[in-house]
Amino acid sequence: MNRRKATLIKGPDQHLDDLNKVEDNFVHLARLALAGKRHDVLLLIRRASSAFRGKMPEMAEELNQLLREASASETPLRGDTVAIAPVDLDSRLNLATVEQLPELAHEPIWPAAVAGSLQLIVDERRREHELAIAGLQPTRTALFEGPPGVGKTLAARWLARELRQPLITLDLSASISSFLGRTGANVRNVLDYARGARCVLLLDEFDAIAKRRDDSAEIGELKRLVSVLLQEIDNWTGPSLLVAATNYADLLDHAIWRRFDVTVKFSTPDPNQIPLAIRLFLGDDITLEPNLAGALELSFVKCSFSEIERVLTAIRRQAVVRDEPVDDLIKGAIRKRARTLPKSVRFEMGAKLHEAGLSDRQVHDLTGVSRDTLRKRRTAAMLR
């Protein structure tokens, strides 16, 4: 190590950076080794080996030899248990998580367009060989765009499950906040790690890059990260599928999102999907009176899948623990949600609740529509 340091000191100025890295990394290596973190030590050696390849090929080769000697069965991606991908050496935070074979708690509900796009990605990979004969590659990179809680992360898991591949997830938001000064290197490290495995790599919270633009302290860091990502997305090769998920595609650097092979737009459930979501999250054992179900569906207009799930799961829990009738809990949920809805929807809900056998007083209590208005609208509807 000393001999190599001396070589570096005599070299051009930019080598001083490398020297600092050597020193830093040596301290980290010692720390990891003493803490018995074998996987992290292996990752650091792998990273060092590729960093030194250009300027110190001998050392890189020695490190490679050490890696070869380490048992292949003990490298992180091949372990039996869920492995943890590279960590940042300063903060010790995970840069990514690895799920060997992701499972889903329930089958997703996809709008036709989303289902079509996702299935095509899967079919292309299943028929990779035929594509290759035609001189084509399957979709390499995809951008998932849409508001919170509509299934972007779920879709990445679904893809990994359908393809029977591990899901490696990099949380860019966590990476940027935690690794100032190192983000580019850290992200590249995870991408290298994922490229080597046949997996689905999810860059979650992709908009974190765009959202943080205004923070001047981070601008240099973000520029570095953007350039790393541009290169990586452009040059993404190999068997893994790279998926990025974002809430705000508009905020993303245009140069980034136009580089993806495909963009899939996710949205809140449409009126036909809300009943399916209610059935999914309420469970088959609970049957609602059709008009009460209709009012509940209206109360969920423009809600995300995850919001519907949250409300209905809370109701199921309460029904068990407090032994309260589900219908009453549903009415409570309608009451809470009605306050946020436009008048026209509340009138419609009122009509359904009336049909469900509720008195005008009860309907007024749930929807906030006055009894007088309820009566007038009913009369007007009868005359039509």
Ligand X SMILES: Nc1ncnc2c1ncn2[C@@H]1O[C@H](COP(=O)(O)OP(=O)(O)OP(=O)(O)O)[C@@H](O)[C@H]1O
Q: Between residues 47 and 152, which has the closer beta carbon with respect to Mg ion?
A: 152
Residue 109 binds to ligand X (criterion: CB under 6 A)? yes
What is the C-alpha separation between 234 and 230, in angstroms, rounded? Answer: 6
Mark 356-375 with x for binding to ligand X (rule: CB under 6 A) and - for no binding: --------------------
Residue 153 binds to Mg ion (criterion: CB under 5 A)? yes
Q: What are the φ and ψ backbone dihedral angles of 128, each rounded to 5 degrees? A: -55, -40
In this structure, the number of other CB atoms found within 10 A of the CB of residue 384 comes to 5
Residue 207 binds to ligand X (criterion: CB under 6 A)? no
The residue whose two tokens read 């190999």 is 238
Q: Between residues 138 and 149, which has the closer beta carbon with respect to ligand X?
A: 149
| 8-state DSSP, 137 | -
Residue 102 binds to ligand X (criterion: CB under 6 A)? no
| Range 228-247, binding ligand X (CB under 6 A) | 245, 247
Residue 309 binds to ligand X (criterion: CB under 6 A)? yes
Mark 263-282 with x for binding to ligand X (rule: CB under 6 A) and - for no binding: ---x----------------
Shortest distance, CB of residue 147 to ligand X, whole angstroms? 7
Q: Between residues 153 and 186, which has the closer beta carbon with respect to ligand X?
A: 153
Shortest distance, CB of residue 266 to ligand X, whole angstroms? 6
What is the C-alpha separation between 340 and 251, in angstroms, rounded? Answer: 28
> What string of DSSP letters covers 316-375?
HHHHHHS---HHHHHHHHHHHHHTTS-HHHHHHHHHHHHHTT--HHHHHHHH---HHHHH
Enclosing H/E stretch for 264: strand 262-265
Residue 291, classified by CB atoms within 10 Å of its CB into exposed (0-12), middle (13-18) or buried (19+), is middle
Tokens read off for 96:
């990514």
Q: Which of 11, 57, 148, 181 binds ligand X (CB under 6 A)?
A: 148
Residue 186 binds to Mg ion (criterion: CB under 5 A)? no
Q: Between residues 206 and 281, which has the closer beta carbon with respect to Mg ion?
A: 206
Q: Between residues 76 and 111, which has the closer beta carbon with respect to ligand X?
A: 111
Shortest distance, CB of residue 155 to Mg ion, whole angstroms? 9
In this structure, the number of other CB atoms found within 10 A of the CB of residue 112 comes to 8
| Range 286-305, binding ligand X (CB under 6 A) | 305
Positions touching ligand X (CB under 6 A) are 108-110, 146, 148-154, 245, 247, 266, 305-306, 309
